[in-house]
């Protein structure tokens, strides 16, 4: 009988991104192929089955595969000649399977949300040497440039020395104060965004009234415990963890695969109070936008939106286009598609039942509408949710 494969799992269970990966890996091993999992030892434990994150200890545990964050151990571990899966920080690791975040997707989701608030001022804050942060910044700037906007960028060193910490914090506060308000900011991740929220609070900058802030990773233990709670872009990390485990299992069994790296898709934005604002001066347009959002769960005639304001349809459309950048009908479609997308990602209800609940007698009509708006069918979009694997739950 072949012994179970041993996998050194050197991930930080305290991080939301890595917790999600671990859940996906656990689902795969529970359903398919059990492993002996070697986890990092806590500082107060020295039990069998744990390893310290040192080259000698990992080598002596004789793992058949390793999953870890990019760190100083990657190069020596590659010399072991066993399958290695790496979450990159500074760049891709040659000779390993890289777990690559969909940073362009993150930027697009955040940009669309901030644009929908009626904002015209935008900024990005992150780390200057972390590849994932730089990629999010570049994609965010590109998307907003397409919409005719410039992004004010502020980057700080990733591994800043303690002696420089106060300097970089003061520079970030000065930058925050200098931004034209109201402004929509994408922070490179939830940790950085939490720091921005604290700086804003201490220095009298109001979130979300002056600053609408979006983080990345949707780490609930961070996002729900900030003041105000932080809106954040979620990754389909559990799905990626499942796919990573499947790929590692194949490699440990000696199978070859053409597709090496694993893509961690950006799935959706979890909206919280940090972006609960509308930067629109026209009160009648604000009424219309809020009415559309409250009624996104149903087919909404333009007539009802007009009746919620004091304007004629033609005047509302003209003022709406000036304030928001598109017409009322476009906004109705955008909000309805966003509502359907949230339902697809957060429930297992069959697509036919979902279609009826949002006003479509024929599910095919909703499918055509959703594909025009989102570029994917409802079934394909549902597969992007964090817990999805190769099966299509609830379809």
Between 255 and 368, name the one with better pLDDT. 368
Report d(CA 142, CA 204) in Å as an integer. 31
pLDDT band at 387 (very low <50, low <70, confident <90, very high): low
Residues in the chain: 395
Mean pLDDT throughout 71-90? 89
Mean pLDDT throughout 368-389? 82
Domains of the chain in start order, with CATH, are 6-101+237-266 (3.40.50.2300), 103-234+269-275 (3.40.50.2300), 283-382 (1.10.10.60)
Mean pLDDT throughout 101-105? 95
Mean pLDDT throughout 62-74? 88
Helix, strand, coil in percent for the chain, rounding step 5: 45, 15, 40
Q: Sheet holding 97-101: strands in order across? A: 50-51, 36-40, 6-10, 65-69, 84-87, 97-101, 262-264
Assess whether pLDDT exceeds 90 at residue 347: no
Task: Please choose, from the candidates 118, 157, 168, the residue with its C-alpha nearest in 3D space to the C-alpha of residue 134.
Answer: 157
Specify which of 17-26, 134-143, 345-354 reaches the highest per-range mean pLDDT: 134-143
Contact present, 39 and 50 (Cβ < 8 Å): yes
Assess whether pLDDT exceeds 50 at residue 392: no
Write down the pLDDT at residue 385.
Answer: 65
For residue range 310-343, list pLDDT tens digits in order.
999 999 999 999 888 889 999 999 999 989 988 8
Residue 253: DSSP 8-state: T
Q: CB under 8 Å to 362, separation ≥6 — which residues?
A: 355
Report d(CA 59, CA 53) in Å as an integer. 10
| pLDDT > 70 fraction of the chain, expressed in percent and rounded | 90
Strand 36-40 versus strand 84-87 pairing type: unpaired
pTM score of the predicted model? 0.81
Q: CB under 8 Å to 41, separation ≥6 — which residues?
A: 47, 50, 51, 52
pLDDT band at 43 (very low <50, low <70, confident <90, very high): very low
Write down the pLDDT at residue 73.
Answer: 84
Specify which of 12-16, 126-130, 389-393 reaches the highest per-range mean pLDDT: 126-130
Between 108 and 159, name the one with better pLDDT. 108
Assess whether pLDDT exceeds 70 at residue 47: no
């Amino acid at each position: 009988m072949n012994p179970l494969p041993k996998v050194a799992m050197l991930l930080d269970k305290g991080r939301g991104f890595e917790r999600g990966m671990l859940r996906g890996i656990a689902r795969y091993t529970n359903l398919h192929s059990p492993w002996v999992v070697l986890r990092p030892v806590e500082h107060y434990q020295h039990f069998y089955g744990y390893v310290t994150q040192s080259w000698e200890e990992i080598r002596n545990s004789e793992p058949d595969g390793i999953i870890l964050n990019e760190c100083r151990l990657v190069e020596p571990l590659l010399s072991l000649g066993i399958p290695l899966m790496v979450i990159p920080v500074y760049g891709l690791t040659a000779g390993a399977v890289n777990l690559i975040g969909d940073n362009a997707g993150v930027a697009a989701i955040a940009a669309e949300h901030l644009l929908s608030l009626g904002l015209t001022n935008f900024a990005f804050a992150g780390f200057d040497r972390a590849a994932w942060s730089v990629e999010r910044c570049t994609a965010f700037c590109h998307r907003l440039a397409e919409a005719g906007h410039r992004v004010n960028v502020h980057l700080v060193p990733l591994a800043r020395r303690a002696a420089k910490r106060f300097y970089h914090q003061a520079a970030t506060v000065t930058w925050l104060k200098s931004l034209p308000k109201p402004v929509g900011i994408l922070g490179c991740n939830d940790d950085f965004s939490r720091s921005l929220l604290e700086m804003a609070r201490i220095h009298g900058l109001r979130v979300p009234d002056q600053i609408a802030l979006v983080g990345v990773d949707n780490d609930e233990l961070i996002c729900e415990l900030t003041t105000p709670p932080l809106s954040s872009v979620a990754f389909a990390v559990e799905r990626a963890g499942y796919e990573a485990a499947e790929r590692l299992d194949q490699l440990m069994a000696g199978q070859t695969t053409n597709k090496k790296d694993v893509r961690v898709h950006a799935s959706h934005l979890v909206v919280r109070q940090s972006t609960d604002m509308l930067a629109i001066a026209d009160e009648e347009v604000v009424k219309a936008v809020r009415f559309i959002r409250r009624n996104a769960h149903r087919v909404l005639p333009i007539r009802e939106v007009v009746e919620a304001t004091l304007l004629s349809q033609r005047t509302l459309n003209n003022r709406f286009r000036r304030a928001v950048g598109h017409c009322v009908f476009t906004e109705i479609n955008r909000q309805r598609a966003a509502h359907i997308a949230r339902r697809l990602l957060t429930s297992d209800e069959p697509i036919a039942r979902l279609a009826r609940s949002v006003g479509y007698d024929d599910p095919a009509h909703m499918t055509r509408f959703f594909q025009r708006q989102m570029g994917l069918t409802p079934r394909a979009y549902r597969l992007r949710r964090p817990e999805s694997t190769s099966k299509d739950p609830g379809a």
